[in-house]
Amino acid sequence: MIASGRPPNQLLQSLDAADFDLLRPHLITVELVRETVLSEADVALRHVYFPHDGAVSITVGLSEGQTIEVAMIGRDSIVAGGAALADGIAASNAVVLFPGTASALEIPAFRNAAAASVPFRGLVIRHEQALLARAQQSLLCNTLHPVEARLARWLLLAHDLSDRKTLPLTQETLAQMIGVRRNAVSLVAHALQRAGIIHYSRGQIEITDLRALQATSCDCYSAAKTHHARLLGLPP
């Protein structure tokens, strides 16, 4: 059930009234502009973010200069919650992937709320555990499974988090997200388009057959959803 008067973010929606009242006066609605850096690795945080829509990519940089996504966050969770509870230094980069809006909360207000409420602090920790589980599943998938299954899994997650069937994505961005070369994504995207599963045009990917895309994905997609629901006490 959606709690009226609250931003459409799953974590905020799940708080009881007293805990939400700790945050309410300090929440500021902000635009999530595509490619905006919300946090940078090894840099002190200023805010945590509760996305309402859109999606944020959590990435790490490699010594060779490459960047790879380790997780994606949307309206289901919080950006930088774990680091804010710890030393306040971001462990990774958080970059807006799909535009939208979010509730921003300054770090002192976030820490005060976490100190005042054990349930709120515990909920943030469970969300961090769910994010870690998603990142581990993504690592396993990108290590073991073929590009077609990996791409299908990623598109399904992007659809779930953003509630969009048309995603503003280039093949170069997709390649970075799943850690492969651009030509590999191009070959798989063309195959999925020929099968009628997606439609690709310049900078846009439309999911045209969601069930077929689910069938193309590996078990990592359903496993990650199950882990996420279990850790957060959600219906399967």
Predicted pLDDT of residue 18: 96
Please give the CATH architecture assigned to the domain spanning 10-135. Answer: Sandwich (2.60)
Supply the pLDDT for residue 236.
Answer: 61
pLDDT, position 1 = 46
Q: What integer pLDDT is reported at residue 60 of this predicted model?
A: 85
Specify the DSSP class assigned to residue 89.
Answer: B
Q: Residue 101: how many CA atoms within 13 Å on its side-chain side?
A: 9
The domain ranges of the chain are 10-135, 146-217
Instruction: Return the pLDDT at 2.
Output: 54
pLDDT, position 144? 86
* Low-confidence residues of the chain: pLDDT under 50: 1
Q: Which residues in the chain belong to E strands, given as ranges?
A: 28-32, 37-39, 47-51, 55-61, 67-73, 93-98, 100-106, 166-167, 198-201, 204-207
- pLDDT at position 235, please? 66
Annotation: CATH topology of 146-217 = Arc Repressor Mutant, subunit A (1.10.10)
pLDDT tens for each residue of 72-111: 999 999 999 999 999 999 989 999 999 999 999 999 999 9
Task: Tell me the torsion sign for CA atoms 61, 64, 65, 68.
Answer: negative
AA letter at 123: L
